[in-house]
Amino acid sequence: MTFSPRPHYEWALRRRSLPLGRNTVILGVLNLTPDSFSDGGSYLTKDSALNRAIQMLDQGADIIDIGGESTRPGATPIAPVEEQARVLPVIAAILRQRPDAILSIDTYHASTAALAVEAGVEIVNDVSGHLWDPAMASTCAELRCGVVLMHTRGRPSDWKTQSALAPGEVVPMVRSGLAQQLHRALDSGIAINQIVLDPGFGFGKIGRENDPLLSSLHELQQLGRPILVGLSRKSFLRPAAAPAGPSEQKAQLLSATLAANTAAILAGAQLIRVHDVAEARPAAVVADRVLTKSDSS
């Protein structure tokens, strides 16, 4: 079995660059929130968040993606000042202990992005693709940081009432939306080598609407930018798990996540965003070996 070659890129970050394509880059999720869908409330203190970040780095995370506001379905927005109070002390603590760590800030607030980058963050990961804060694109252009543009259909408060998508609608909608976001970012002065694209699994795509996006992920290579996927513990993977108790459900969801991540890597994703770094790393290594073999055949 052979797979299409995965494109290689050099991702320009704030102070350095990161090669993409040869080996899968893993972003470890660090949610500093009381209400995130999977691990809300787990890392509310600075010490617990720092310990988790160091643990993920030691497990093989290439980037720590820090979020201070939940964007789960139905989430209540918070003010940027509250978000900043959660994330800035943790950013400082991580960089004091691991000054070479690559950090990303998961935010759609331009003011939070600016303060985080000034504190040492290299990447701004905006789930809205610069749509929810009109100042975000120009802010990222001024910061000259790495940028992740995610496709989102509506806001979290909209998702439960949105009309259903036919299977054939999903990929064209995401491809067109990301193309528009990419053009707006370039027009705002963000350099093309700063930009990574994320199709936004679960963000306005409900349940099985995500399946065609995963199975046709390779089509997004047409956009000419690296692809990041966030599939970790997403609710649309749950039907793959048989009914069981809480611990069994967690294990089954992890297995489903690893399978989805492997499929995404083999379809061309250069980066994966995960909660379970220790388990994701060996699966990514095997998928990378398969792609390396395909490249040389």
Give Cα separations from 186 to 21, 137, 193 (angstroms).
22, 9, 10
184 belongs to the catalytic site: no
Question: Residue 225 in contact with residue 10, Cβ under 8 Å?
Answer: no
Report DSSP state, residue 297.
-
Closest CA to 224 of 187, 262, 268, 190: 268
Catalytic residue at 234?
yes
Catalytic choice (52, 205, 273, 281): 273
> 32 with 43: CB under 8 angstroms?
yes
In sequence order, the β-bridge partners of residue 227 are 197
Those residues with Cβ within 8 angstroms of residue 103's Cβ, 6 or more apart along the chain or in another chain: 63, 64, 65, 66, 91, 94, 95, 116, 120, 121, 122, 123
- How far is the CA of 1 from the CAs of 260, 290, 297, in angstroms? 18, 9, 11
Instruction: Return the structure tokens found at 276.
Output: 């379970």
- 105: closest CA among 85, 94, 93, 121? 121
The whole-angstrom separation of Cα 184 and Cα 36 is 29
Residue type, 160: K
- Give the active site residue among 16, 234, 289, 293: 234
* Max Cα–Cα distance, the chain, nearest Å: 53
Residue 93 dihedral angles phi and psi, to the nearest 5°: -65, -45
Residue type, position 10, single letter: E
C-alpha 35/C-alpha 71 separation (Å) is 9
> What count of other Cβ atoms lies within 10 Å of the Cβ of residue 139?
22
Write out the catalytic residue numbers.
234, 273
